[in-house]
Amino acid sequence: MNDKHKYKILIADDSDFNRAILKEILREDYETIEARNGMEAVHILRRHVGIDLLLLDIVMPEMDGFEVLSIMNRQHWIDDLPVIMISSESSSSYVERAYDLGVTDYVSRPFDTTIIRRRVANTLMLYAKQKRLVQIIADQIYDKERNNATMINIFSHIVEFRNGESGPHILHIHILTELILERLIQKKSIYHLTERDISRICIASALHDIGKISIPEAILNKPGKLTVQEYEIIKTHTTIGAQILRDQPGFEDDPLLKTAYNICRWHHERFDGKGYPDGLSGDQIPIEAQTVSIADVYDALTNVRCYKPAYDHETAIRMIQDGECGVFNPLLMECLLELGDKLPNLIKKAEQRGGSHRILPAKLLPGKALESLSSPITAPDLPDLTPSAHQVRSKDEMIRARTKFFADHLRDIQFEYDADGKSVILSSSGAAHLHSPAHFPVGQTLHNFQINPTSLALLRQQIGLATAENPSISENIEILTGAGPVFYRIDLQTVWAQDNPNQYLGLVGQLTDIHERSLQPFGGQTAVSLIHNIQQVFDIVRLVDPKDAAVLEFVPGGNLKKTGQFCYDLWGKSEKCENCVSMVAFDRRKRVSKMEFLGDDIYQATATCIEVGGRACVMEMINKLGTTTESGIDRTELIQRMENSTRRLYIDPLTGVYNRRYFEDYQADIEDAEGIAMIDVDNFKKINDRYGHLIGDAVMKSIVKAILSCIRQTDTLLRYGGDEFLLIFQRIPQEAFNQKLWQISDAVRAVRLTQVPNIQLSISVGGARGIHPIGEAIRVADERMYRIKAKKHADPPSDEKRRM
């Protein structure tokens, strides 16, 4: 199989042996990635684009397979990613639960190699066929909707031409209908419309006057007042148009035709029952017809007709309010008035874009915040943020959001999108940094300053999940410049209306050049001397380019070139190492070490990122530590001992939770945490002083036990220092975050120590959600926690006064 077309399979199993067997079985035909537990698997699924299959164990530390499946269901990953569960658990309850959670297949251990290969191949083939069918159906739906919209527009314009109305009338009705309906769904009402409903109503609105094709032109275009007989003829256009639509083949099964029928027949009905043709009143009139009705009247008033001049916006609104054009649904009137003086400008802008995005539906995956990313993308050219007409900007809210965001992020390059979403506005420092104008069109390349496609794919995935509840995105991305690759930290904040979480307002962001801040630069000759000196200490010292897994060497003049060898050749491998130490060092810009095995030989590989002659690379320093034979310990036991050693390094011995060192060493891995809580034990010093350290230790253990009983396995609790704890939530909605903090406080208050039952325990908790980087989130949470603690000291509860 050609490497370019290899499927990518994620193997999640806590057993090194099991992962090695599966990898060996699949390595010839598939690319594999390994995860040592469920939490690591979820982290990889969030970070990696293009995984085609997950092989999942059930019993794993930190997070088991069922929890992974639950997360995949909540995130809807299970819809597109097949899962084969491979486990020694063969009871029917396990198998049934796995299938209930959406696995495609279940294989029990021990298994046959041939069975694994066939099950994997069959699953991938099945999903590939399904994807092709989905794409074919999506293309057909897209083409059908595009053709429907095109033919409807052509036909309605023919009617419009006969009627002598203004050219954009059909487009105006579409835009106005959409604007009003978008306001309507933001209100609590009896009208439960979906995005699909609105799209269908907007398309069908173009046919509201189709019946006028049967009305004589002399009546349609009469400049003076119509006679009673002529008016009765005009009124028949509603029933004639409705009959034309009802006579279409497939009418009963076509939602678009039925919607168009309702609009065509009843868009001249009025809320008080004084309209035509059927004298319907109130909500006897379908909401689509009511909406097109008020849109039709507004457009007729504000544009020239053969029988009247055009009125300005204010006059038209006054006439509608005064009932000069009939009585309309009060809720729709409210929506129209809320659009206010912005309405003419919104219509004009939508006209300039060729109408709403719903007229010709885009072939894009759904996303609440953003619809597309241009490719190739140029930094800081991010997504195409062209909004639909209903997404009304709030200038004041954008200013507030921008001010707060930039105050919290005093970094290198700050940017935002203007009101149209078609231009990038750079801060003055950002413009100077990029040697670019402060205002330029989206898509303009700045001095070959482009986002690496892999980084772009990851960024697209993160941005597509942005909502009002989760508005922030922070990632490390690689920028390709004329001078080579440079790493930046990108922080984005999508801005949403405060009174309506579905109303997108804009985007602000920043790029922080972490390459310039953390790489140690060396000239070519200096680097040669450095490596020569280090070679006196290590067995092997070499420079590598981890992106290409290429070993580098110096050429005359001190520059670097590829030797043609790969860094993994040293380890007897035919492909890049999993958890490549050089790649980790390169991504994190810090020194990283790990153990490597070559047969029975044990090595320690240390990697650090440096810059040689303006080129970022990694220096690997490798020492042979010995052999498994010499130590008398086999490889599996040695790895187990190393894990135990790591556990002792990162686990607080008293409480059994992670310690501060774990946070400092793994901060980069939890940088995207969504929620942070700082927890401080109230009056802990007094308890220690009065009852002694043994009781103090029991208090700490009991409080940790209470906190752990309230949190998920995906959450992380650390003893941050003394009687302070840090609680990290990777993904959690705002409401659940608030409830979780109250739940933890209540659980601690419920703790009773058998040794000293009169002690009333309590904690002070400060939370911060959606704030990045994590250091800033901790600062905010810590500040809130101390405010709460200070308030308690100022006014302690009566039982606390009595006891302490």
**Rounded CA separation 751/591 (Å):** 43
pLDDT of 262 strictly over 60: yes
pLDDT of 94 strictly over 90: no
**Rounded CA separation 370/465 (Å):** 9
Q: Residues 85-108: what's their mean pLDDT?
A: 85
Residue that the structure tokens 């000196």 belong to? 533
pLDDT confidence band for 261 (50 / 70 / 90) = very high
Q: Residues 315-344: what's their mean pLDDT?
A: 90
pLDDT digits (tens, 9 = 90+) for 452-473: 665 666 666 666 666 777 777 7
**Residues whose CB is less than 8 angstroms from the CB of residue 114 and which lie 6 or more positions away in sequence, other chains included:** none
H or E segment to which residue 43 belongs: helix 38-47
pLDDT of 482 strictly over 60: no
Closest CA to 8 of 68, 49, 65, 56: 49
636 or 165, greater pLDDT? 636
Q: Which of 115-129, 207-221, 388-402, 692-706 has the highest mean pLDDT?
A: 692-706
pLDDT of 407 strictly over 60: no
pLDDT of 401 strictly over 80: no
| pLDDT for position 420 | 47
**Please, which contacts does 103-106 make with residues 24 or more away whose CB atoms are closer than 8 Å?**
103/56, 103/69
Of 202-206, 228-232, 240-244, 361-365, least confident by mean pLDDT is: 361-365
For residue 73, how many other CB atoms are within 10 A of its CB? 14
Residue that the structure tokens 């490596």 belong to? 531
| pLDDT for position 504 | 62
- Work out the angle at residue 197's Cα, subtended by the Cα atoms of residues 194 and 198, and round it to the nearest 5 degrees: 90
Which DSSP state fits 619? Answer: E
348 or 268, greater pLDDT? 268
**Rounded CA separation 242/256 (Å):** 13
Which whole-number Å values give the CA distances from 304 to 316, 343, 737, in the listed order?
12, 18, 56
Distance linking the first and last C-alpha atoms of the chain: 73
pLDDT digits (tens, 9 = 90+) for 663-721: 877 776 677 788 999 999 999 888 888 888 888 889 999 999 999 989 887 788 999 88
CA 124, 130, 133, 139: dihedral to nearest 10 degrees? -90
pLDDT of 207 strictly over 80: yes
**Residues whose CB is less than 8 angstroms from the CB of residue 738 and which lie 6 or more positions away in sequence, other chains included:** 767
Whether 336 contacts 317, CB under 8 Å: yes
pLDDT of 726 strictly over 70: yes
pLDDT of 764 strictly over 90: yes
**Rounded CA separation 553/543 (Å):** 7
pTM: predicted TM-score of the whole model, two decimal places = 0.36
Which whole-number Å values give the CA distances from 328 to 169, 236, 289, 645, in the listed order?
20, 21, 11, 75
**Rounded CA separation 295/197 (Å):** 17
Indicate the pairing of strand 550-555 with strand 559-566: antiparallel
**Rounded CA separation 774/671 (Å):** 6
753's torsion region: left (phi>0), alpha (psi -120 to 50) or beta?
beta
Three-state SS annotation for 296-325: HHHHHHHCCECCECCCCHHHHHHHHHCCEC
| pLDDT for position 384 | 33
pLDDT confidence band for 448 (50 / 70 / 90) = very low
pLDDT digits (tens, 9 = 90+) for 599-636: 777 788 888 888 787 678 888 988 887 776 655 556 56
155 or 748, greater pLDDT? 748
Closest CA to 261 of 234, 282, 289, 236: 289
**Rounded CA separation 245/257 (Å):** 6
Q: Both tokens of residue 326?
A: 């009939």
Helix ranges (H only) for 437-580 are 453-463, 514-518, 524-534
Length of the chain: 804
Residue that the structure tokens 């105006």 belong to? 172
Of 269-278, 343-352, 495-504, 660-669, least confident by mean pLDDT is: 495-504
The phi and psi torsions of 252 (rounded to 5 degrees) equal -65, -25
Q: Residues 738-748: what's their mean pLDDT?
A: 92
pLDDT of 253 strictly over 50: yes
pLDDT digits (tens, 9 = 90+) for 22-64: 988 898 889 999 999 988 888 888 776 678 899 999 888 888 8
Q: Residues 256-281: what's their mean pLDDT?
A: 93
pLDDT of 762 strictly over 90: yes
pLDDT confidence band for 804 (50 / 70 / 90) = very low
777 or 156, greater pLDDT? 777
Residue that the structure tokens 């999940």 belong to? 465
Q: Residues 249-262: what's their mean pLDDT?
A: 87
**Residues whose CB is less than 8 angstroms from the CB of residue 679 and which lie 6 or more positions away in sequence, other chains included:** 707, 724, 725, 726, 727, 744, 763, 764, 765, 785
Within its chain, how far is the Cα of 346 from the centroid? 28
pLDDT digits (tens, 9 = 90+) for 124-140: 888 887 777 666 665 66
| pLDDT for position 633 | 56
Share of the chain above pLDDT 70, in %: 69
| pLDDT for position 268 | 95
Q: Determine the longest span between alpha carbons in the chain, in angstroms.
A: 110
Instruction: Count Cα atoms within 13 angstroms, Cβ side, for 545.
Output: 16
Q: Residues 570-575: what's their mean pLDDT?
A: 85
Residue 481: beta bridge partners? 484
Which whole-number Å values give the CA distances from 420 to 336, 380, 397, 504, in the listed order?
22, 17, 16, 12
**Rounded CA separation 563/548 (Å):** 12
Share of the chain above pLDDT 90, in %: 20
* Average pLDDT over all residues of the chain: 76
The phi and psi torsions of 447 (rounded to 5 degrees) equal 50, 50
